[in-house]
Amino acid sequence: GRGYVVRRLIRRAVRHSRLLGSEASITGPVVAATLDRMAEHYPHLEQKRAPIERVTDDEEAQFGRTLDAGTELLEVELDTLKDHGETVLPGDTAFRLFDTFGFPLPLTEEIAAGQGVEVDTAGFEQRMAEQRERGRAAQQFQQWEGTTLPAVEVTFEGYASTLIDSAEVLWLEQDGEPVATAEAGAPAMVVLDRTPFYAEGGGQVADRGAITGPNGHFSVRDVQRPAGEVSVHIGDVAEGYLAVGERVSAQVDHERRADTARNHSATHLLHAALRAELGEHVQQSGSLVAPDRLRFDFSHRQALGPEEQREIERRVNAAIRANVPVEPSLMPLQEALAGGALALFDERYGEEARVVQIGDLSRELCGGTHATQTGDIGSFTLTSEGSIGSGLRRVEAVTGAAAEALAGNTRATLETLSRTLGVPLPEVVGRVQQLQEELAEARRQLAAASRQSDQSGLESALKDAVAVNGTHVLATEVPAADMRALRETGDWLRDHLPGPATLILGTTQPERPQLVVVVPRELVDKGLHAGALLREVADAMGARGGGRPDMAQGGGGDPSRLAAALARGRERATAILRSGGTS
């Protein structure tokens, strides 16, 4: 789509700007000039100038971070390929760059081509296909292809009532075939001439309930509208049978419907609160309305802070306490839009639209079921907030009984903490903070003691340094809990060796061996290359790694071969230095 094209243009501009040595913003001046020139003909551009500039600036900044992280990893992989005489970057690597860092395949191909390396695009596409297949397998969906539905219109009467005493069975399907009678023992699908069951749509889940005939009972677990106005009830014949032409009763699970309706009205209040608190740029981009929770996706660039979340909750709960009427009405679509009703851009509406008005708080096009008054919702509590993509946020919430249960569970947890910590409930937070500070101080003292102990052992390691033409080469195994500690150990050793020193360090203390090679800048100029030295060591123990001329790191391989691998690195470094820098 057009958003993808614009994003590609921005990313290519940033990439080539970096290649030219510029770190300055490239999109800011271009966007400003475009808005200045076009605003006369498109006045809404000037009205949206601030969010447009913010979005493009954020996109450039975000891609800059992606570019830095992905480029570093890609360069390590390309160096490794060239050292092994290979000219094709595996599709797995390109996919990892894309999946982990958001590094686009075209950019990977462009950088690789600059170093004479091709990308295994077939392997990349295979991994993408596997990921898509996993996504499809994780979703539940109804396959309608091959199913011939009746050419009828089903009258939905569920706004007024959750019970219809007399409806006609128009169509049945069982075992993938239209049937005159559906019997117990296998799933089935039913079409009635009129129904109180709401079919899944607009983010709201389908009703559940029962269809009861003179000879059987059908449990409805889903309702779909795959084509036109045909509502298909999906479920199981619990007992007896249903037959085409029979008169049946249709009963929606009233309590479940009421919980869902409360959540749907709460979703409208949430949308209004988000726009009031964050700005009118907030637009709904998706939702889920279920009986036990609600989910709302919307356009916004930043995470919601604790104060913003509390204010949004306050606004929604104030509207609930006001007990405002929730009033659905039908009117021409253009009249509804002219009157300020909010519409979703990816929804299709007929010439006549259903508008749900909640006092002067909210006015939206909506076909879902709702509470009668906002007070029916009871209460509203946000449960989570997070990002679902660039410029998109997601909040989840509960209402009514679910909100009461959450509040009860939260209080029970706090009371347990109060008893455990031995302080009154209002003092729990302060006591936890005090314990955190005490724990942090204990960890600092332990780390200091550990460093002191390690350094006393490192002093003996300094004696293993080999003097070569006014420099030193130290290749040794050292104690280090992780890569960061290994690099800090290298800093300490470098500071305690006279003159420039090449360090080749390894540790087997973590779950897998770790390696670090550090080469002073003045020795890089004499022919030493940290990445090449590290690969020499790594090859000797079956590890992997690479890096820049002055610093490289790696890991893995056989820990029992570490000592021999370090000795090999020492021999290589000393040989280069003794030869005057000719590798």
Above pLDDT 70, what percent of the chain?
94
Tell me the three state secondary structure of residue 25.
Answer: coil
Amino acid identity at 72:
E
Mean pLDDT of 544-558: 89
- Assign residue 436 a region: left if phi > 0, alpha if psi is -120 to 50, beta otherwise? alpha
In sequence order, which residues have a C-beta less than 8 Å from that of residue 65 and are 6 or more positions away? none
For 193, the domain range is 155-252
Q: Are residues 524 and 549 in the same domain?
A: yes
503 by DSSP, 3-state: which? strand
DSSP for 142-192, written as a single string: ---TT----S--PEE-TTT-SEEEEEEEEEEEETTEEESEEETTSEEEEEE
Number of domains in the chain: 4
368 in any annotated domain? yes
Q: What is the pLDDT of residue 346?
A: 54
Residues 14 and 126 grouped into a single domain: yes
The last residue of a domain, from among 206, 225, 252: 252
Of 93-97, 117-121, 226-230, the poorest mean pLDDT is in 226-230
Best CA proximity match to 502, nearest among 460, 545, 428, 552:
552
- Decide if 216 is inside a domain: yes
Domain boundary, last residue among 367, 385, 407: 407
pLDDT at position 359 over 90: yes
On whether residue 110 sits in a domain, the answer given is yes
Q: Please tell me whether residues 278 and 395 are part of one structural domain.
A: yes
φ and ψ of 495, to 5 deg: -70, -20
Q: Is residue 171 part of a domain?
A: yes
Taking only the tens place, the pLDDT of each residue in 158-202 is: 999 999 999 999 999 998 889 999 999 889 999 999 999 999 998
Do 311 and 224 lie in one domain? The reply is no
User: Does pLDDT of 456 surpass 80?
Assistant: no
Q: Are residues 96 and 221 in the same domain?
A: no
**Are residues 20 and 128 both part of a single domain?**
yes
Helices 49-83 & 27-38 angle (0-180, nearest 10): 150
DSSP class of 542: T
Helix and strand tally (H, E) in the chain?
16, 25
**Based on the domain organization, do 225 and 322 belong to the same domain?**
no
The pLDDT value given to residue 454? 64
Residue 453 has pLDDT above 80, yes or no: no
Could you tell me if 189 and 246 lie in one domain?
yes
| 440 in any annotated domain | no
Mean pLDDT of 458-480: 88
pTM: 0.61
**Of 391, 407, 423, at which residue does a domain stop?**
407
278 has pLDDT over 90: yes
276 and 388, same domain (yes or no): yes
Angle at 456 between CA 533 and CA 577, to 5 degrees: 25
Residues 360 and 302 in one domain: yes
Helix (H, G, I), strand (E, B) or coil at 392: strand
| Rounded mean pLDDT, 431-458 | 83
Residue 139: is its pLDDT beyond 70?
Answer: no
Q: How confident is the model at residue 44 (pLDDT cuts 50, 70, 90)?
A: confident
Name the more confident of 132 and 2: 132
57 or 568, higher pLDDT: 568
Query: Three-class SS of residue 22?
Result: coil
- What CATH number is given to the structural domain containing 496? 3.10.310.40
Do 18 and 131 reside in the same domain of the chain? yes
Residue 452 domain-assigned? no
Q: Is residue 310 part of a domain?
A: yes
Within-domain flag for 23:
yes
First CA to last CA across the chain, in angstroms?
52
What are the DSSP calls for 468-502, one per residue?
A: ETTEEEEEEE---SSHHHHHHHHHHHHHTSSS-EE
pLDDT (tens digit per residue) in 238-258: 999 999 999 999 999 999 999
CATH number at residue 297: 3.30.980.10
Indicate if the pLDDT at residue 114 is higher than 80: yes
CATH number of residue 190's parent domain: 2.40.30.130
The mean pLDDT of 295-306, rounded to a whole number, is 93
Distance CA 115, CA 112 (A): 5
Query: By percentage, how much of the chain surpasses pLDDT 90?
Result: 54
Same domain? For 179 and 286 the reply is no
Average pLDDT, the chain: 88
